[in-house]
């Protein structure tokens, strides 16, 4: 049958279309030789139902992108099966072999056959379950998909059975199915991934890169399940060994670094709708990408724009806005309030009310950061750290070439609110009363977390309590200053203030500190009403375009709140009648011009609060003493006295540090006295 028959049934005829039609015809011919009669049928309706194996390969493509996707699915199955230990073995970046062994509930011979059948799952019984998902898997397609694009072996024995069973699947055909001697639990072995999907196989990167992706998935799962023991082997070498019943902080330290773990500020918040356990990184440790922000929702790693936005907002003014703080968030919500069935690998979710998670993440982080001393310690001794295992560092680096996020747990009696004890840095935790019973019921996951994590906090606190007496400078005596006290400040180069503290010394950037203090005062003031305003004897005029005037008119409220009174002056000018008192000795007109620019550039959806804060930080910068301004003794004292009255005084509103701290110990190290 000539190709033009196909073309002739189309509305528009053209040489191009003829070529398309001819191509289509010959591909159909390849799939199934077409008889004249059948050809007529096929050509009349060009839509075909795809062969089963093709459907499965396409479905597999959605979930299984690379070896790491297989590892994620199979590890999640082990966790859903109640495993307490999971061991992962990788060869050649997962391209030739991946083996995951668990000690979970296991499967009977019959269940093994069902497990590799599409849409067969033990995790959903009826439609309603879809809206209360408590397990990591539920679609019943992972093993079937993996079986359609690899050589898959499952070996399993339920704990109560005497004998185990084994099933071997190749390109979706079950080839063997027999009894097997094996330990209780399940071993899943995947060989030659994508052996029958050359396009996908070609697409895989070198073994090192693929292993990096696997390590990323492994870390996400291990962080979310510190109660479970995990091992990771690469080409016969063990690269991670994580005992069961670790704390999230231990896992964070293991994967990323001891220093990072030790510096984190722990917090917890529980309201009716949502529970958050989190670890907030120091502002000074912020990174250049968001890869170090980990969110877990109901123990599943997710990426979520509302959470990301809340983190950014919480660190506003503490870090350079182009940088990203390290944050681990472990969030628990009622599964019915969130839809996890919107993304093939479930890494994105849809919230019933996204406002709640945004609000809770923001407030819990703000509270945690507000209650902590964020002053960076000058660290001259970074070279004295214990050597790290280069192989492990490599794996971690590879892992972080990836998108990443995580979370952490916490403990019941911690209070991070304003009534926490004064003094001390992020480590001054009130004494917690530890629960003694460890919960193993998965529904009480958070209690387990809290307990596990509580132990870590306890240990951290004890360490801090015990440490000072070992340090010569900390021995109490008449000369020891009360915690937090500052003594004997002097000004250097009309820019820096240097003073003695109870455990060393501080160097302060006078502008940065004053700016932060003013910013906090302005923020506080504006929540209680308009800023104080001062009328000018002679109004100041400046030129204002019609468009700018329209913008100003629209934002009259903001203008009033800031303490400005401005009226129209002729057709192309404005007269400033009153200015914020804080700017009285400054160039208020220049400030007003900057303000106008900001107002014109304002995005329609920018929250009013963040816009006002931007303006206040501009105002604080204008009003604060400058680098190079000589200060009198009283002025220095007044500035330092205010330091402890404001929160977050460690950083200026733009995120630069205000203060460097050098402890006596650091000095001793530098002078080789220790």
Taking CB under 6 A as the criterion, the residue among 71, 78, 518, 652 binding ligand ADP is 78
Q: Nearest approach, Cβ of 127 to ligand ADP (angstroms)?
A: 15
Whole-angstrom distance, CA of residue 452 vs CA of residue 410: 8
* Residues in region 262-281 near ligand ADP by CB under 6 A: none
Whole-angstrom distance, CA of residue 60 vs CA of residue 52: 12
Asked whether the beta carbons of 252 and 260 are under 8 A apart, the reply is yes
Three-state SS for 111? Answer: helix
| Interaction of residue 105 with ligand ADP, rule CB under 6 A | yes
| Interaction of residue 586 with ligand ADP, rule CB under 6 A | no
Whole-angstrom distance, CA of residue 354 vs CA of residue 362: 12
DSSP character at residue 377? B
Q: Nearest approach, Cβ of 132 to ligand ADP (angstroms)?
A: 15
Whole-angstrom distance, CA of residue 672 vs CA of residue 674: 5
Total residues at the site for ligand ADP (CB under 6 A)? 23
Place of tokens 């006596």: 664
CA-based nearest residue to 613, from 510, 526, 555: 526
How far is residue 573 CA from its own chain's centroid? 48
- 123 vs 359, beta carbon nearer ligand ADP: 123
- 300 vs 456, beta carbon nearer Mg ion: 300
Taking CB under 6 A as the criterion, the residue among 63, 64, 70, 77 binding ligand ADP is 77
Asked whether the beta carbons of 167 and 156 are under 8 A apart, the reply is no
At 200, list the tokens.
């996908």
| Interaction of residue 103 with ligand ADP, rule CB under 6 A | no
Asked whether the beta carbons of 232 and 217 are under 8 A apart, the reply is no
Which residues sit at the interface with Mg ion, rule CB under 5 A? 77, 137, 142
Q: Nearest approach, Cβ of 189 to ligand ADP (angstroms)?
A: 12
| Interaction of residue 152 with ligand ADP, rule CB under 6 A | no
Q: How many CB atoms lie within 10 A of CB 591?
A: 21
Three-state SS for 600? Answer: helix
| Interaction of residue 142 with ligand ADP, rule CB under 6 A | yes
| Interaction of residue 85 with ligand ADP, rule CB under 6 A | no
- 225 vs 450, beta carbon nearer ligand ADP: 225
Q: Nearest approach, Cβ of 196 to ligand ADP (angstroms)?
A: 19
At 472, list the tokens.
């010569």
Radius of gyration of the chain (CA): 32
In the shown chain, the binding pattern of residues 178 to 197 toward ligand ADP, with x for contact by CB under 6 A and - for none, equals: --------x-----------
Place of tokens 């050649």: 92
Whole-angstrom distance, CA of residue 312 vs CA of residue 325: 8
Whole-angstrom distance, CA of residue 532 vs CA of residue 489: 31
Residue 186 binding result from Mg ion, ligand ADP, none, given CB thresholds of 5 to 8 Å by partner type: ligand ADP
Taking CB under 6 A as the criterion, the residue among 43, 63, 70, 73 binding ligand ADP is 73
Q: Nearest approach, Cβ of 185 to ligand ADP (angstroms)?
A: 7
Whole-angstrom distance, CA of residue 225 vs CA of residue 246: 9
Asked whether the beta carbons of 657 and 510 are under 8 A apart, the reply is no
At 301, list the tokens.
């790693």
DSSP character at residue 669? H
From the list 62-70, 88-96, 120-128, 193-201, the region that binds ligand ADP by CB under 6 A is 120-128
In the shown chain, the binding pattern of residues 519 to 548 toward ligand ADP, with x for contact by CB under 6 A and - for none, equals: ------------------------------
- 123 vs 309, beta carbon nearer ligand ADP: 123
| Interaction of residue 60 with ligand ADP, rule CB under 6 A | no
- 108 vs 337, beta carbon nearer ligand ADP: 108
At 233, list the tokens.
């082997």
Residue number of the CB closest to ligand ADP reads 137
Taking CB under 6 A as the criterion, the residue among 42, 43, 143, 499 binding ligand ADP is 143
Asked whether the beta carbons of 263 and 282 are under 8 A apart, the reply is yes
Asked whether the beta carbons of 569 and 557 are under 8 A apart, the reply is no
From the list 30-38, 71-79, 402-410, 568-576, the region that binds ligand ADP by CB under 6 A is 71-79
- 138 vs 328, beta carbon nearer Mg ion: 138
| Interaction of residue 291 with ligand ADP, rule CB under 6 A | no
Helix ranges (DSSP H) in 297-353: 305-314
- Angle at CA 469, nearest 5°, toward 466 and 473? 135
Whole-angstrom distance, CA of residue 400 vs CA of residue 218: 12
Contacts of 612 (CB under 8 A, 6+ apart): 526, 558, 561
| Interaction of residue 101 with ligand ADP, rule CB under 6 A | no
| Interaction of residue 81 with ligand ADP, rule CB under 6 A | yes
Q: Nearest approach, Cβ of 62 to Mg ion (angstroms)?
A: 14
- 179 vs 492, beta carbon nearer ligand ADP: 179
Q: Nearest approach, Cβ of 227 to Mg ion (angstroms)?
A: 20
Whole-angstrom distance, CA of residue 24 vs CA of residue 237: 51
Place of tokens 């809770």: 360
Whole-angstrom distance, CA of residue 253 vs CA of residue 259: 7
Whole-angstrom distance, CA of residue 5 vs CA of residue 119: 41
- 100 vs 357, beta carbon nearer ligand ADP: 100
Taking CB under 6 A as the criterion, the residue among 138, 294, 449, 591 binding ligand ADP is 138
Residue 617 binding result from ligand ADP, Mg ion, none, given CB thresholds of 5 to 8 Å by partner type: none
| Interaction of residue 121 with ligand ADP, rule CB under 6 A | yes
| Helix 207-224 vs helix 67-80: crossing angle, to nearest 10 | 20
| Interaction of residue 149 with ligand ADP, rule CB under 6 A | no
Q: Nearest approach, Cβ of 84 to ligand ADP (angstroms)?
A: 13
Q: Nearest approach, Cβ of 73 to Mg ion (angstroms)?
A: 5
| Interaction of residue 371 with ligand ADP, rule CB under 6 A | no
Q: Nearest approach, Cβ of 246 to Mg ion (angstroms)?
A: 24
* Residues in region 432-451 near ligand ADP by CB under 6 A: none
Contacting positions for ligand ADP (CB under 6 A) = 73, 77-78, 81, 102, 104-107, 115, 120-123, 137-144, 186
């Amino acid at each position: 049958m000539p190709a033009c028959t196909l073309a002739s049934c189309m509305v528009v005829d053209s040489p191009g279309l003829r070529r398309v039609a001819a191509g289509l015809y010959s591909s159909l011919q390849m799939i199934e030789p077409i008889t004249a009669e059948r050809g007529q049928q096929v050509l009349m309706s060009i839509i075909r139902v795809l062969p089963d194996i093709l459907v499965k390969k396409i479905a597999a493509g959605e979930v299984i992108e690379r070896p790491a996707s297989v590892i994620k699915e199979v590890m999640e199955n082990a966790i859903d099966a109640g495993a307490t230990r999971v061991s992962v073995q990788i060869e050649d970046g997962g391209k030739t072999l991946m083996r995951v062994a668990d000690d979970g509930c296991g499967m009977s011979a019959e269940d093994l056959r069902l497990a590799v059948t599409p849409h067969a799952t033990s995790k959903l019984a009826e439609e309603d379950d879809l809206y209360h998902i408590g397990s990591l898997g539920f679609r019943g397609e992972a093993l079937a998909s993996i079986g359609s694009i690899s050589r898959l072996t499952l070996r399993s024995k339920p704990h109560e059975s005497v004998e185990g069973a084994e099933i071997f699947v190749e390109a979706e055909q079950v080839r063997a199915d027999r009894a097997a001697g094996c330990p209780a639990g399940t071993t899943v072995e995947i060989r030659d991934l994508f052996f029958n999907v050359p396009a996908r196989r070609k697409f895989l990167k070198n073994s090192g890169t693929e292993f990096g992706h696997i390590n990323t998935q492994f870390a996400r799962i291990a962080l979310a399940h510190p109660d479970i023991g995990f091992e990771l082997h690469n080409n016969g070498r063990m690269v991670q060994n994580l005992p069961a019943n670790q704390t999230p902080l231990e896992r964070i330290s293991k994967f990323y670094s001891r220093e990072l773990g030790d510096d984190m500020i722990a917090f917890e918040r529980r309201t009716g709708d949502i529970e958050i356990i989190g670890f907030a990184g120091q502002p000074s440790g912020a990174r250049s990408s968001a890869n170090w922000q980990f969110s877990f929702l109901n123990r599943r790693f997710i990426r979520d724009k509302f959470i990301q936005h809340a983190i950014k907002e919480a660190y506003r003014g503490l870090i350079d806005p182009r940088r990203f703080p390290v944050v681990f968030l472990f969030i628990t919500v009622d599964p019915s309030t969130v839809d996890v069935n919107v993304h093939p690998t479930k890494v994105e979710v849809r919230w019933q009310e996204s406002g709640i998670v945004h609000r809770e993440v923001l407030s819990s982080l703000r509270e945690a950061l507000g209650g902590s001393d964020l002053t960076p310690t000058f660290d001259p001794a970074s070279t004295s750290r214990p050597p790290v295992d280069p192989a492990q560092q490599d794996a971690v680096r590879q892992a972080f070439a990836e998108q990443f996020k995580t979370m952490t747990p916490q403990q019941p009696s911690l209070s991070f609110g304003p009534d926490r004890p004064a003094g001390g840095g992020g480590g001054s935790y009130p004494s917690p009363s530890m629960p003694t019973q460890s919960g193993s019921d998965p529904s009480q996951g958070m209690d387990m977390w809290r307990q596990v994590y509580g132990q870590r906090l306890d240990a951290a606190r004890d360490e801090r309590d015990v440490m000072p007496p070992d340090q010569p400078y900390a021995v109490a005596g008449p000369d020891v200053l009360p915690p937090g006290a500052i003594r004997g400040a002097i000004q250097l180069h009309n820019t820096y203030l240097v003073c003695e503290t109870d455990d060393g010394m501080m160097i302060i950037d006078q502008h940065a500190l004053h700016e932060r203090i003013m910013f906090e005062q302005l923020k506080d003031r504006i929540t209680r009403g308009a800023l104080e305003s001062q009328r000018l004897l002679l109004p100041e005029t400046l030129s204002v375009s019609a468009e700018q005037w329209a913008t100003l008119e629209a934002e009259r409220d903001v203008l009033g709140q800031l303490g400005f009174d401005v009226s129209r002056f002729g057709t192309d000018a404005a007269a400033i009648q009153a200015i914020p008192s804080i700017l009285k000795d400054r160039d208020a007109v220049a400030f007003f011009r900057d303000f106008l620019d900001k107002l014109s550039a304002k995005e329609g959806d920018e929250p009013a609060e963040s816009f006002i804060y931007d303006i206040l930080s501009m105002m604080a910068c204008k009003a604060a003493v400058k680098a190079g301004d000589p200060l009198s003794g009283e002025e220095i004292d007044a500035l330092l006295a205010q330091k402890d009255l404001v929160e977050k005084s460690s950083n200026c509103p733009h995120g630069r540090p205000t203060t460097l701290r050098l402890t006596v110990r650091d000095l001793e190290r530098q002078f080789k006295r220790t």
